[in-house]
Chains A and B, each alone.
Chain A
């Protein structure tokens, strides 16, 4: 923790200059809602420490209290270097730490991306509202724990069920009738955009525009091998691995899983071979939304809270993961998600501005599409 570092704060209140205290943190008094920019005064950094990302922006939403406790962590500002032989923050292990963070992000993305990919594969639909299904997971868990006082684990299980149920409802009242009606894929895609917009603002109406935390207690940090993670992150990663393994196993080994892949491969042929395509698609919607809900709960834990646009923030990463892996192949989506997670978290390590970490993932997606349009695992489509 570095003390005595000056940080300029500018925001709707005007500018103020703050200095980090003994514990490396400082208290920021916020008088107005809006966007605040924290700029590290690099001259005040100790010798040998550089900041790759000297400016941070955050949106302050006024809650009950109007002060914000803020500890500038080394990774926030992309601090690199050593002071008197000791690493700054996690400096010396930055690469390892970021790799683990990338893996964590990748696994959580994978939970949502596999579902998105299954939906695309079986119905051809690029569902923009899938991101809001992720947010929904976090929001429902928040309501259950904080409004109704349920214990977290019970709330988590119930949330996944509720989210899966929303998938079922959507399939029954929206997607199935619309396909029957003969709506084209572009039309359906725009319906998902409308749904996504409606859901985002519904979250705002219900819980406000600020970040809400599912669990209020501070997480316990765990350190092993020089990597610091919270216990919540560890749990999240563990559960993600288990769930993804289960999904993968189901796709490969169960009859229904094989049927799902057959439908993805060629719906007309699957239908002709006596597979109940409607049943498969219904199941895919339930599983996909349940997985997205699970991803949302975990995202809320790992990112210390969830916000109405948390899902939208990762939507493009999900699309990137699905496309990278090859549109409509579930295992491709898994690999794509891990790659995207790593790219996002490792971008600052290689000296690029931290603000560009999401942009970098998208850039890689575009470049890959140019070289290999069918994605990493997809097969080339037959022309004509």
Chain B
């Protein structure tokens, strides 16, 4: 089926419509200011929750404390990195990757299996990255020359294939099969790197071991990595290469007619975003275990929701979106189980209900604010 040219194309052919010429600089300044206000607003909200959680007791304080804990979880950081990767794919290049969880899973397997086989940590990280890069090449070579939806079908299918293969009982000695690979098999070299002193540290509602399996060490490393990835993406997309990405997102044929190798650039974007996904996967499994099912389709959908929430094609959107995604869900769950009597919704149902709200929120978000919290409506309308 050929999808007809967008009707706006025809409308613009008409010269009689005198277009408005907005002052782009002023608009940009205004947008930057608005982004700052929104970010500051979110920070203030967290600060208020922090204050209530530390200075009072009772159910409200408990809910707020758990919201803050969810926001700084290492797994939140891990997903944020994967979202930053997807932002390169979808936000900047317009690639429809709906198998980002597959990249996470590959990174996690590459990393964890290498470590469990006794390879040194840097080699394990490189192997995790390399597997994801090769995976991206394999997916990209046949699909990047075809229409966008083929990449979508192939990425989601390939991610599922990875998950099924990871669960295979025949591979139990490598991947742990459906039981998964317990964290104790690969975690030690990472934990050993910690230069934090022994003991526990409590800051407000956050109280963790300094090093430990799931303590301050992994949190600090994870969030520093998030910052590094954000800075890396910032450097990439403000360059002429980043301009090329956005050009491709707008109209591949136009870029091709200017003599650029569109295929190569799309491939580079696919690999970089995939490698970021793999890095996210490595962080994701460090405090827990490698479970194929924890990085399945549901994870991909969460990544998409977080990206759209924060705002695709923005620098800080992915991070803000991910934090809000996990924090708000915990908030909804807490409020639901507090407000709705257990006879109507028990604890488990409250949790399920919070996911229903997430689903509906995703729909409303895409319908009413497709540019997300930080996005630029003029720049980012979906093009399909």
Contacts and interface: CB of A to CB of B under 8 A. Distances in A.
Contacts of A381: 1-2, 147
B214 to A, nearest CB: 20
Contacts of A181: 367
A323 B153 contact: yes
A369 B308 contact: no
B1 A362 contact: no
A382 interface: yes
Contact of B349 (A39, A53, A126, A205): A205
A187 interface: yes
B143 A369 contact: yes
A57 B363 contact: no
A369 B142 contact: yes
B363 A205 contact: no
A369 B150 contact: yes
Given A205-B349, A267-B4, A358-B160, A35 B178 contact: yes
Contacts of B365: 194
B362 A194 contact: yes
B358 A197 contact: yes
A198 B353 CA distance: 9
A191 B298 CA distance: 15
A204 interface: yes
B154 A187 contact: no
Contact of A184 (B142, B149, B297, B381): B381
A327 B158 CA distance: 19
Contact of B165 (A185, A191, A319, A359): A359
A55 interface: yes
A353 to B, nearest CB: 6
Q: Pick the most buried of A55, A323, A365, A384: most chain B CB atoms within 10 A of its CB.
A: A55
Nearest to A57: B178
Interface string A352-364: 0101101100110
A356 B363 contact: no
Nearest to A362: B157
A199 B1 contact: no
Contact of A194 (B3, B146, B158, B359): B359
A126 B2 CA distance: 15
B-side interface mostly? helix
B360 A194 contact: yes
Contact of B179 (A37, A196, A205, A268): A37
B96 interface: yes
Given A35-B178, A197-B362, A370-B142, A190 B308 contact: yes
B367 A359 contact: no
B159 to A, nearest CB: 10
A199 B359 CA distance: 8
A204 B352 contact: yes
A124 interface: yes
Given A355-B164, A370-B142, A191 B366 contact: yes
A249 interface: no
Contact of A55 (B164, B177, B361): B177
A264 interface: yes
Contacts of A193: 301, 304, 362
Contacts of A183: 366-367, 370, 382
A377 interface: no
Contacts of B360: 194, 198
B167 interface: yes
B134 interface: no
A369 B160 contact: no
Given A183-B367, A184-B383, A356 B169 contact: no
Contact of A365 (B153, B352, B364): B153
Nearest to B167: A355
A13 interface: no
A366 B154 contact: yes
Nearest to B362: A194
B284 to A, nearest CB: 19
B152 A126 contact: yes
Contacts of B359: 194-201
B345 interface: yes
A216 B381 CA distance: 50
A359 B161 CA distance: 5
A323 B172 CA distance: 33
A266 B4 CA distance: 8
A126 B153 CA distance: 10
Q: Pick the most buried of A197, A355, A362, A370: most chain B CB atoms within 10 A of its CB.
A: A197
A312 interface: yes
A305 to B, nearest CB: 19
A256 interface: no
A27 interface: no
A194 B384 contact: no
A359 B160 contact: yes
Contact of B1 (A37, A200, A264): A264
B153 to A, nearest CB: 6
B208 interface: no
27 contacts: A53-B169, A55-B172, A57-B167, A178-B367, A187-B370, A190-B304, A191-B367, A194-B359, A194-B365, A196-B359, A198-B357, A201-B352, A201-B356, A205-B356, A209-B348, A209-B352, A265-B1, A266-B2, A319-B156, A323-B153, A327-B149, A355-B164, A355-B168, A356-B164, A363-B161, A365-B153, A366-B142
Given A39-B169, A384-B253, 14 more contacts: A126-B152, A181-B367, A185-B3, A194-B361, A194-B363, A198-B358, A202-B356, A205-B345, A205-B353, A264-B1, A328-B1, A358-B160, A363-B157, A370-B142
